[in-house]
Amino acid sequence: MRIMVDESGRKIFFDPKKNKKDMHTYLGIIRRSDIIRAKNGRTIKSHTGKKLKVFDADFRDRLKHLKRGPQIITPKDAGVISAYTGIGPGSRVVEAGAGSGAFTSYLANLVRPSGKVYSYERDERFYKLAKDNLSTMDLSKYVALKKGDVYEKIAQKNADLVFLDLPEPWNAIKNAEKALKPGGYFVCYLPTMNQIIRLIKALEKTNFEVFKVANIHEEIWQARCDALRPVTHDFRHTAFLVFSRLF
Ligand SMILES: C[S@@+](CC[C@H](N)C(=O)[O-])C[C@H]1O[C@@H](n2cnc3c(N)ncnc32)[C@H](O)[C@@H]1O
């Protein structure tokens, strides 16, 4: 995927897997071959002579262009999950449900090149969506996407992390325990406090130790020197995070 930036800073995205023809834009026609051949940061011109700088898209650019299905996990939560579990290159992670494949992509990007993400999704539509999005992200080879229900079975063993973004994680505690290595992490992402209470009550009867319940807030400021202040927006609750560890 590539990004073209015009002289006013406006951006055009180009995915060679999906854009098979020259692009017809507000700047005129931009030749597909020019976009593909341009070196990172070089300038090309449309047929009307308008200049565009061409850049290689990075992980974040690709993520913004994924097809959306179920609600995705946002960077503010993704960053904290990886920081508190120490997931990195070589890690083995079990995740469910894959949904839109957004968090699967974060995980795959962290564990590659030698690690693996085993991602379960029980709904056929979202299984296909996640598969398609992982291909757009160029991350399919680091993910084993499984059509399955984690309340019934998790086939993996010796995982470093089991992460669940689904409504009733207490139904998967036994399977998570069997899938984890000793000392492994079990993290759940839940929108309501009612779910948190039910999960913690269930975890108290097991070998999992809950070490953190967190609600991560992000305050975004507008980057304008003449009016440096928080962006005006409604407060958006995403979900709470429950971190536990198998001891
Ligand atoms: C909110 S979405 C996950 C979004 C995902 N974390 C992302 O960032 O794109 C929840 C998904 O869990 C799936 N799901 C619910 N219960 C499940 C289960 N028991 N096993 C596997 N998948 C399940 C749903 O079909 C849905 O696609």
Q: pLDDT tens digits, residue range 101-111?
A: 999 999 999 99
Q: Are 1 and 65 in contact (CB under 8 A)?
A: yes
Where do the domains of the chain lie? 2-57, 62-246
Instruction: Name all residues whose Cβ lies below 6 A of ligand 1.
Output: 70-73, 96-97, 99-103, 120-123, 126, 149-151, 165-166
Please classify residue 18 by burial: count the beta carbons closer than 10 Å to its beta carbon, then call 0-12 exposed, 13-18 middle and 19+ buried: exposed
User: What's residue 18's pLDDT?
Assistant: 86
Whether the predicted pLDDT of 234 surpasses 70: no
Span 2-57: which CATH code? 3.10.330.20
Can you tell me the mean pLDDT for 148-163? 98
Tokens representing 110 are 């962290």
Q: Please give the mean pLDDT across all residues of the chain.
A: 96
Can you tell me the mean pLDDT for 15-23? 92
Class level of CATH domain 62-246: alpha beta
Q: How far apart are CA 189 and CA 196, in angstroms?
A: 9
Question: Atom 19 in ligand 1: which residue has the minimum CA distance?
Answer: 149
Q: Are 99 and 126 in contact (CB under 8 A)?
A: yes
How far is CA 116 from each of CA 95, 107, 141, 156, rounded to the nearest angstrom? 11, 9, 9, 11
